[in-house]
Amino acid sequence: MSNIIETNKLCKTFSNGGVQQHVLKNIDLEIKDGDFTVIMGASGAGKSTLLYALSGMDKPTLGNITFNSVEITKLNSDELAIFRRRNCGFVFQQTYLVDSMSVLDNVLAAGLLVDKNKKAVTEKAKEVLKSVDIEETLWDKFPTQISGGEAQRVGIARALINNPRLVFADEPTGALNSQTGKDVLDALTKFNEKGQSIVMVTHDITSARRGNRILYVKDGEIAAECNLGAYVPNDPDRHEKLRDFLGKMGW
């Protein structure tokens, strides 16, 4: 499998009142095509910072990131925006749908950025929405008129509309109850099985089980990684293996 992302000595430092906090320290990392990579770690370990740096949403302090053969650390903010629209999909913990747009328009607002063919994009948006179990009756509703789980699945549809090379998911089930969280994870898993590469940040072991590669971030560094192989539902060995790995990490 080829690498989608390669980082070289990736560092991120925040300054606060003259005090410097090194959140990411010399991270060398590859994200492989087709993987469902899960980033775990304790609160404040730097996992979300790493996710947003990898996606080009945030700029690292030092080091470089090559994404799909493009060194994105050299791009300015507008070039990064254009790069993101073509290569990245995002699923956030808070869904972040645009409240003033309907469900369908939220997906189209992302899709039409890449493809001007309104008819084709609309067809595709409807298809993606159906694939995440968002029924037609919800398409004209506004984000405040649907449930959290439905909104998160709309977020997934929006992330997938442009067939991104990589979907970044930041605690996608963090704000959901267990059943709706499961639905969201099922949706992500389904797309991964079809070949969609995903990087997900989570601190939930049930969510992490969906990944085939687990990276553990500790004090701004990749402390260790664990390969779980392809996801098999209700596989007790997979769960044990992950628990052992996390146990070793002091989870």
Partner 1 sequence: MSKEWVLTKSHFRKNKGTSIGLFLLIILAAMMISSSMLLFTDVYPTVSRDAKRLDAGDGFLRFTSDLTGIDDDCIENLMDDETERYESTSVLFYNSVSVPFGAGKVVMHIHVNNPDAFERKMAKTEIILEDESITENYIYLPYQFYTSDSNKIGDIYSFELNGKTYDLTVRGFVNTTYFACNNNGTYEFIVDQDTYDEIRNRDGEAAEAIVVAYELKDGVKQSKFAIRVCNDLLKYNMDTEVYAVSLSSVVGGRTFMSRIIAICFLAISILVLLVIIMMLVNSISNYIKENMQTLGALKAIGYTSGNIKASLLLMFGLLGVLGAALGVGLSYITIPVIADFVVVQMGVPFHASFNPVATVITVCVVVAYVLIVTVLSVGKIRKIDPIIALRGGVEGHNFRKNRIRLDRSAFGLNVSIALKIMFGNMKQNIITFFVTGFIVFFCVITLLMYENFNRDPKLEMLSFEICGGVVGADYEKKDEVYEYLCEREDVSNVRNIMNIYLYYNDEDKLWTYIMDDPAQLKNQNVVYTGRFPEYDNEIAVSGKFAKEYGLSVGDELKLDYGDKNHKYLITGLIQTTNNDGREALLSTKAAEHLLDFTYAPAYFNYDCDDAKSSQKVLDDCTDKFGDHIVSTMNFWEVIEGSMTTFKTIAKLMLYLVSAICAAVILLVLFLLIKSFIYSKRRDFGISKAIGYTSGNLILQTAVSFMPPIILSVLVFSVVSYFAANPYMNLMMGSFGIVKADLDIPIPGVVISCVAIIVISFFFAVFEARRVKKIEAYQMLIAE
Residues found near partner 1 in the complex (CB under 8 A): 48, 52, 57-58, 77-78, 81-82, 84-86, 88, 90, 92, 94, 96-102, 104-105, 108-110, 112-114, 116, 118, 122, 125, 140, 142, 144-145, 158, 170
Least distance (Å) between residue 234 CB and partner 1: 34
State the minimum distance, in angstroms, from the CB of residue 105 to partner 1.
5
CA distance 47 to 39: 6
> Could you tell me if 110 and 162 are in contact, meaning their C-beta atoms sit under 8 angstroms apart?
yes
Alpha helices per DSSP H over 55-147: 77-87, 103-114, 118-131
Q: Rounded CA gap, 191 and 196, in Å?
A: 5
Torsion region of 85: left, alpha or beta (phi above 0 gives left; psi -120 to 50 gives alpha): alpha
CB of 115 vs partner 1, minimal distance in Å: 10
Taking the least distance from each CB to partner 1, the nearer of 119 and 194 is 119
The residue among 5 and 242 lying less far from partner 1, judged by its C-beta, is: 5
Residue among 142 and 251 whose Cβ is closer to partner 1: 142
How far apart are the C-alpha atoms of 250 and 41, rounded to whole Å? 10
How many C-beta atoms surround the C-beta of residue 5 within 10 A? 22
**Which CB, 55 or 212, lies closer to partner 1?**
55
**Cβ 245 to partner 1, closest distance in Å?**
28
Q: What does each C-alpha distance from 114 to 83, 90, 97 come to in angstroms?
A: 10, 15, 18
Give the shortest CB-81-to-partner 1 separation in angstroms.
Answer: 4
- Tokens 């899960």 locate to 38
**Cβ proximity to partner 1, 108 vs 222, nearer residue:** 108
Smallest gap from residue 40 Cβ to partner 1 (A)? 19
Q: Is the dihedral of CA 130, 134, 135, 137 positive or negative?
A: negative
In degrees to the nearest 10, what's the CA dihedral of 44, 48, 49, 53?
170
Nearest to 62 by CA among 19, 23, 114: 23
CB 146, min distance to partner 1, A: 12
Helices 148-160 and 118-131 cross at an angle (nearest 10°) of: 130
**From the centroid of its chain, how far is CA 109?**
19
| Residue with Cβ nearer partner 1 (81 or 230) | 81
| Closer residue to partner 1 (CB): 149 or 228 | 149
